Amino acid sequence: SYELTQPPSVSVSPGQTARITCSADALPKQYAYWYQQKPGQAPVLVIYKDSERPSGIPERFSGSSSGTTVTLTISGVQAEDEADYYCQSADSSGTYRVFGTGTKVTVL
Amino acid sequence: QLQLQESGPGLVKPSETLSLTCTVSGGSISSSSYYWGWIRQPPGKGLEWIGSIYYSGSTYYNPSLKSRVTISVDTSKNQFSLKLSSVTAADTAVYYCAIDSSSSSYWGQGTLVTVSS
């Protein structure tokens, strides 16, 4: 089955930059989306189509893509950014959606 | 802004069929730019895509669940539904409904479904 691989955890101090990677073979062909999920809440879309930011999402959230890896960058991390982050994309045919394994971001 | 609400039994017996409905308010779900889907999250675990249905009527299901899943839409009621048959304890999860477009994603708050006798 197709999988998106993320690091289990990332720790960052307030004001620093957090980078979360997501890797899979089909990422050069399919867009990636990033979701933020806080405990007990539904996920919220923070990046779509690799690097676009939905309205209402702070500018400190950005996305990029290079080959088989996409990256979510949180610049100037704030305490409120502590959450689980999931990438989401599709298989090479674009038929089946898949979520990444998830990354827990801890603000020290 | 669309708002989504999942509804259905919170407890389902093993081997029975799990049925959930997602009711949408704040706008019509009838848009060619939308597709409707279900996602689940077992307690303490990650997100799993269950399946999606597109405006065209085409449905796509997670291959691991395909034989047990049916997703349908009733645009007249502004609702879409999930049926998952032959459930086991492994199907215990928070189930989310979601409406996606190319630039947005609206999710319900989620509903916990426990499979237990």
pLDDT band at B42 (very low <50, low <70, confident <90, very high): very high
Mean pLDDT of chain B: 94
Mean pLDDT of chain A: 96
> Does position B31 have pLDDT exceeding 80, yes or no?
no
- Name the more confident of A83 and B34: A83
Per CB-CB distance under 8 Å, the chain A contacts of B102 are 48-49
Instruction: Give percent of chain A with pLDDT exceeding 90.
Output: 94
Interface test with B, best of A44, A99, A101, A103 (most B CBs within 10 A): A99
pLDDT band at B61 (very low <50, low <70, confident <90, very high): very high
CB atoms within 10 A of CB B102: 11
**Option in B46, B103, B108 nearest A48 (CB):** B103
> Does position A15 have pLDDT exceeding 80, yes or no?
yes
Interface test with B, best of A9, A20, A37, A45 (most B CBs within 10 A): A45
> Does position B47 have pLDDT exceeding 80, yes or no?
yes
Q: How far is CA B86 from the centre of its chain?
A: 16
* Contact criterion met (CB below 8 Å) for B80 and B74: yes
Residue B108 in tokens: 């319900």
For chain B, the residue count is: 117
Chain A contacts to B (CB-CB under 8 A)? 1, 33, 35, 37, 41-45, 48-49, 52, 54, 86, 88, 95-102
Interface A-B, measured as beta-carbon pairs within 8 A, has a size of: 51
pLDDT at position B35: 87
Would you call B110 and A96 a contact, using CB atoms and an 8 Å cutoff? Answer: no
